Amino acid sequence: MNTTFKRFNTMRVIEHWIQMTTFSVLVATGLSQKFYTLELSRWFILHMGGIDNVRIIHRYAGILFSLAVAAHVIYATFGVVVKKWQPSMVITKNDFLNAVHNIRYYLGNEPYPAQGDKYSYTQKFEYWGIMTGGILMIATGAALWRPLIFTRFMTGELIPAAKVLHTNEALVVFLIIALWHIYNAVFSPEVFPLNMSIFTGSISRERMVHEHILELARIEGATPEEIRQDRGGSEKQPGETGDHSAR
């Protein structure tokens, strides 16, 4: 029997769907404007009813994305401050040590991969890369949408700077998701053809052993060494995956 553990609650699953959908719309409508000379961009803009429609869709998708990010931050802050959740997404010195450990493991100099807790170092780095990029895009997008409001209190040079930051940071975040997150969630050998944990809210014990063994040890009241022994030493397979969320 394949034992599973609850990893994400219903709110997190819904939140992921909202962010995934709005971000996809923002990428399609934003990059088509940035690379407007491409034939694919022209085709997309034409079939969306013209550049004005594309801009309207982009702006209102940005509002939904901003609300989702704000709700995420408020919910996480409330959980840590009021409910005393462990700030499991905070990057610590141990995450950098785990990164070095895994490099040594991939080179054959360590018997086991780094021991992951609720979130691995790869998940934390990915999360903060997307989160900080998202906040920057929200701020610069607002400045570009309502420049007169912002220039009442700030210098006019803010607007062209915001345009450069907005489009380039959007491309960076898109590449992080396309090359890092999608690989970890789809093409990584441990989860192929798709990591379903963010959609079902559950994760298998097998993946817990490999990716989150410290959390599993706390749940089962055992040591990581005892858990490895129970699976007959089959832990020696490299790889980390990238669940996208934070508590």
pLDDT of 237 strictly over 80: no
23 has pLDDT over 70? yes
Give the C-alpha separation, 120 to 136, whole Å.
24
Q: Identify the DSSP state of 163.
A: H
Which residues are 109's β-sheet partners? none
Question: Rounded to an integer, what distance in angstroms lies between the CA atom of residue 117 and that of residue 216?
Answer: 8
Percent of the chain with pLDDT over 70: 93
pLDDT in tens, 135-175: 999 999 999 999 999 999 888 899 999 999 998 988 898 98
Give all domains of the chain, ordered by start, each with its CATH number.
Answer: 4-230 (1.20.950.20)
Give me the chain's average pLDDT, please: 89
Task: Give residue 231's pLDDT.
Answer: 65
pLDDT band at 232 (very low <50, low <70, confident <90, very high): low
CA–CA distance, 77 with 81 (Å, rounded to integer)? 6
3-state secondary structure of 128: helix
* Amino acid 1: pLDDT: 57
Per the document, the length of the chain is 247
Q: Does the pLDDT of residue 179 top 90, yes or no? A: no
pLDDT(241) > 90: no
Residue 189 or residue 51, greater confidence? 51
The pLDDT value given to residue 236: 43
What span, in angstroms and rounded, lies between the C-alpha atoms of 156 and 108?
55
pLDDT tier for residue 194 given thresholds of 50, 70 and 90: confident
Any idea of the CA torsion for 22, 247, 115, 210, to the nearest 10 degrees? -60
The closest of 127, 130, 150 to 65, measured between CA atoms, is 130
Instruction: Name the pTM for this structure.
Output: 0.84
Nearest-CA neighbor of 134 among 109, 95, 100, 166?
166
